[in-house]
Amino acid sequence: MRQLKFGIKMADQGFLEQQPGFATIAIHAGQEPEKWNSAAVVPPITLSTTFKQPAPAEHTGFEYGRSGNPTRNTLEECLAALEGGKHGFAFASGLGAMTTVTALLSKGDHIVAIDDLYGGSNRLLRQVVARMGIDITFTDLTVSGNLENALQDNTKMLWLETPTNPNLKVIDIAEAAKVAKNRSKDIIIVVDNTFLTCYLQKPLNFGADIVLYSLTKYMNGHSDVLMGSAVVNDQAIATKLRFLQNAMGIVPSPFDCYLVNRSLKTLALRMERHKESALTIAKWLEKHPKVTEVMHPGLPSHKQHEIAKKQMTGHSGVFSFKHSGDLKESKKFLSSLKVFTLAESLGGYESLAELPSLMTHASVPDKQREELGITDSLIRLSVGLEDVEDLIEDLDLALEKTAENIFKMTLRWGIVTAGKICNDFVNAFNSFPEKGDQLIVAIAARNKDRAAEFAKIHNIAKVFDNYEALAKSTDIDVAYIGALNPDHYGLAKLFLENGKHVLCEKPFCLNMKQTQSLINLSQKKKLFIMEAVWTRFSPAYIYLEREIAAGNLGEIRFIEANFGISCDSDRALKKEYGGSAVLDVGIYLLQLSQYVFKEEPKKVTAVGNLNDSGVDDTETIILEYGGGKRAVLNTQLGLTLLNRATIYGTKGRITLEDPFHFPDKVTAVDGTLKTFPLHATSLPYNFGNSAGLAYQAVEVARCIRAGLIESPRMSHRESLVLAKLMDTVRSQLGVHYDVDDQEFP
C-alpha cells in the first residue's frame, strides 16, 4: 500500500484540505489478510480470554485478554494510522479512556481544563480526579491570556475539547500547546476530538500529545457500542498508557472492537453527509425568527470561525442553538419533534436532540452552568444521515409549536423621567426599524406638565405625574429609568417590587452594595434587570469581539482610551446629584477594558482631581491584569478630548474612533476604515450617536421573551465588577457618598 502523508493545505472553502487516502487507510490499515491463518479479508473476532503459552512466562504475542487481543490490536493499529499517530489504545468507554489518561498524574499535580466540557468529563474531574489530590483549574481558553494565567509550577496536563460541548467553542490547539510547552515541556496536551473525529481534525499535527475519543459517537456511528480510545506519538507516554491499560483493566470486548473496526470503513462517507446536512440546517436556523443564536464553527458568525478554518477540514453534525423561550418552550419543542429523537449521545446515523441543562450537563454545578450560558433555551442537535429536507421540516414544525403566545406578545415600555437621555432613548427607539413588536406606551415625571410635553413630542399615550402610579400600572411590562444617579436604586427597586422588568441607566447605582441589592431582588422576583451600558450592543463592538476571538490581534496586551467632555452640568459635577467623572464617563472606559480582557484586574491605580463639591472631575486610571496586560484610561469633565480607544495586540491594533463608546467608525488591523452607519431620525439628539441606544432595547426584549433575568452581553456579574472598580477608584481619590455608609438587603 502506498505511503500516505498528512498534508496541511487550504481548501477552496477556507478550511484545511482533507488528507488524501483517508478511506483507503480506514479500510486497509491493520487489516492485512496475511495476518490470519485463513487469509480472511474481514478480520476475525477472537473471543478467547486466554492464550496457550509454549512454556512458563513465554508467549507468542498474547497471554490474557486484558493485556492484549488480536481483534483489539487490529482496531488500535487502524486508529493510530487514521490519526497519523504511532500508538493506539482502546478502552471500554470514552470516560474509561479519560480515567486512564488522568492516571498518568500523581497527587499534587495540576490540570488546566477548558471550562466548557462534556458533563461527564466535568463530573469525572471535579468529583473523582480531584479526590485523588490533583488540582483542576477550569478556564475559558478562547480568551487570550487565560491559559498563561492558569498555568502553575505543578501543572502537568492541559485538557482541551475543541469544539467544546455544548457551546462549540473552538480552541487554537497550536497556540495552546505553544503556551503550555513554553511554561513546561512536561505538560501533557490532551485533546478530546470526539466531535470531529480524525477525519475532520488531527490534533497531533498541531502539538497535542494525546488525542482522546469516545468511539461510541462518530467513530462507531451506529449507537450500538460503548468504547473510547487514545492515540499518541511519544514512546514514553505510550509505554505508560500500555501499562495502565493492562493494570486498570478498562478494556473493551473483542466483539465491540470488531463493530468499531467495521464502522471505520464508512467513516469518511458518513462524516461528509453529517457535515453537509448540519451546515445546511445551521444556516437555515440562523435565519429563523425564533432562534437567537446558532453555535456552529462552519458559520462565519461563529466567534472562532477563523481558528476553525486553520485546524479543521470542516465540522461534523453536532451543534447547538438557542431559541427565544424558556424551559417550558424547550420541552414543548423537544416533544414536538418527530424525526429527531430526544436522547443523549451523538454521532449516530439517527438524528438526536437534547437539552444539556437537564441532560448531558445536569451534573455541572449550577453556577458554572450559568456562567457557561448553558440555559434552558439551549438545544443541542446531532444531525444524522436522514434526508436534510425532512430534518428541516421537523425542526420548523416543532419551532412553530414553541412559545406561540410569547412570540406574539407586544412588549410595552414605560419611561421614567423626562430628561435628555430619556429623550434620546425614545427618539432612537421609535425610529429604529429593527425594534420588532415593542411600544412605548407611558411616561412618568414628577412635573406633570413636563411629562405631558414629552409625551406630545414623542406621541406617548399615557402620562403619569408620579413614579409609583406607573410602577403599579398594568399598562407596562418594562421600565426605562433615566433619572439622576442617586435615584437609580430606589426607582429600580420600586419597579421590580411591582413586577416590572427594568433597564436602568448607567451607573446602575452609586456603589456596589446597592448594585448587589438590586440583583438580589431581580433574582428573587425572577424579573429582568440590566444596566444600560448600550455600548455592549454596538455593531462596532461586536466586530471588535469577533476580531479578537479570531486571533487577528494576537494576544491583547494594552488598551489606551480617553473620554473627556467640556461639562458644566450639576448632574455630573455636584455630589448631591451623584456627580463624578468615573460614574459619568469613566464607566465607559472601565467597561471597555472588561469587555476586552474579560477578567478582573489584579491592581487598580487612580490619580485625579476633586472639585469644590468633593467629586472627581478628572482622573487617570491604570488597570493591571495578569501577564503584564494593562489599560490606561483618562477622563475629563472640563476638557474635550479625542474620545477614542486603541486596543493593542501582539499582531496589530484596532482603534474605535471618536466617539469610542458607540463608534460608527473603526480602524481595522489592516489599517482600513470600517463604517457602522446608524439609522436616521427626524428629531434631534442631545448626545452624539444616540441612535445606538435602540440596540439595547432590542436585547432587553429578546431576553424577556426568552425568560432571562439578565443579558449575557451585559450580565449582572459585569455590573458588579464595574461597580467594584468604580468604588475602588472613588476610594483612592477620596470621593464619598452618604450611601456608602448604609447597608442594603
Instruction: Identify the active-site residue in 35, 66, 332, 713.
Output: 66
- Three-state DSSP class for 597? helix
Name the residue with cell 465607559.
588
Listed in sequence order, the residues at least 6 apart from 156 whose beta carbon sits closer than 8 Å to its beta carbon are 105, 109, 110, 111, 186, 187, 188
Which residue, among 70, 88, 67, has the nearest Cα to 79 in the 3D structure? 88
Say how far apart CA 264 and CA 78 lie, in whole Å: 9
Cell of 52: 496457550
Residue 312 and residue 201 in contact, taking contact as beta carbons nearer than 8 Å: yes
* β-bridge partners, 632: 560, 622
Cα–Cα distances in Å, from 696 out to 502, 505, 713?
Answer: 12, 11, 10
Listed in sequence order, the residues at least 6 apart from 46 whose beta carbon sits closer than 8 Å to its beta carbon are 69, 70, 71, 254
Residue 564 and residue 640 in contact, taking contact as beta carbons nearer than 8 Å: yes
Q: What is the DSSP string of 616-672?
A: EEEEEEEEE-GGG-EEEEEEESBS-----EEEEESS-EEEEPSSTTS-SEEE-TTSP
Which residue, among 675, 690, 693, 686, has the nearest Cα to 435 in the 3D structure? 693
Residue 217 is a catalytic residue: yes
Which residue, among 431, 92, 340, has the nearest Cα to 228 in the 3D structure? 92
Could you tell me whether strands 341-342 and 318-323 are parallel, antiparallel, or unpaired per DSSP bridges? unpaired
DSSP state of 678: P
C-beta neighbour count of 205 within 10 angstroms: 17
Instruction: Identify the active-site residue in 115, 140, 172, 192.
Output: 192
Crossing angle for the helix pair 587-597 and 539-549, to the nearest 10 degrees: 30
Q: What is the dihedral of CA 397, 398, 403, 408, to 10 degrees?
A: -10
Instruction: Identify the active-site residue in 217, 322, 575, 630.
Output: 217
Say how far apart CA 687 and CA 117 lie, in whole Å: 44
Per-residue three-class SS string for 400-449: HCCCHHHHHCCEEEEEECCCHHHHHHHHHHHHCCCCCCEEEEEEECCCHH
DSSP state of 64: B
Helices (DSSP H) in 112-191: which residue ranges? 119-127, 146-150, 173-183
DSSP state of 541: H
Residue 629 and residue 554 in contact, taking contact as beta carbons nearer than 8 Å: no
Residue 480 is a catalytic residue: no
Cell of 444: 412618568
Which residue, among 160, 180, 182, has the nearest Cα to 170 in the 3D structure? 160
Residue 181 is a catalytic residue: no
Burial class (CB in 10 A: 0-12, 13-18, 19+), 162: buried
Which residue, among 361, 356, 368, 504, has the nearest Cα to 425 in the 3D structure? 504
**Which DSSP helix (H) or strand (E) runs through 114?**
strand 110-114
- Please report, in angstroms and rounded to a whole number, the separation of the first and last CA atoms in the chain: 74
Max CA pair span of the chain: 106
Instruction: Identify the active-site residue in 115, 116, 118, 169.
Output: 118
Residue 331 is a catalytic residue: no
Known catalytic residues are 66, 118, 192, 217
